[in-house]
Structure 1
Amino acid sequence: MTLPPDDDADSIFGGTLRYGLEADVNGLNPTSSALAASGLMMANAVYDTLAVYDENDVSTPHLAESFTPNDTLTTWTMKLREGITFHDGTPLNAEAVLVNFNAQRGDPLVGLAIMPFFPADDTA
């Protein structure tokens, strides 16, 4: 997550991020990489999620500001936090969320795991 800049802070770009692990990971793609607990911890230092589970296993908005269901709980409206950008300055928006959902759905293994959350006739 990138928050709006602090006016008093000087930005420093570049450098190397080093993270110690007890085992190798096969990449950092959150959709297709095999990430054990250590890899997930490393990914959490780089990526952010739309929601997280709190200590009581309640889903709490994170990059999203809110999730609102319709009356039948078949459609959810997600409001994204404003001012969040990717590392290259591209804003987090609905299109970016859709691209990531579709990437997960398109992965053979991850797609199977998340398909129960999508209607069979969904063409998102």
Structure 2
Amino acid sequence: MKTEGGETGSATMTTDAGKTVLSSESEWPKGFPNEIPKPEGVKVTASAHNDSGNMTVSIESKKPFDEVVKLYQDYVKSVGYAQALELKEDGYYMYSGTRGNETFTFTFSLDQEDNKTVAGALVYEHKE
């Protein structure tokens, strides 16, 4: 296994055969579905993807917590994801759903110190 990194803050891990097993960047990963909302004002703080079809994006936003959650709730309903899991607490929301051979999970939490910043993760997986 070989790890490469650069001055940009990203890292790539590949097997000796050259297969990428993990790559991280502070931007939307290549191949992340365009239909998944990427609203203005949302900052990508980290991302990771691998050759098996799993992509994770960590994001931050100053938009109201309820607005961010509703955006992704509306998205999964509009494109036909079947809910597999939903957790709700004050300032925390998690959803996971499936659609065919795809899984989409999103988790958001409201920063308890400033009560304004929403941090979260979007996880998309497409199994062949």
TM-score, length basis structure 2: 0.27
Structure with greater helix share of residues: 1
Structure with greater strand share of residues: 2
TM-score, length basis structure 1: 0.27
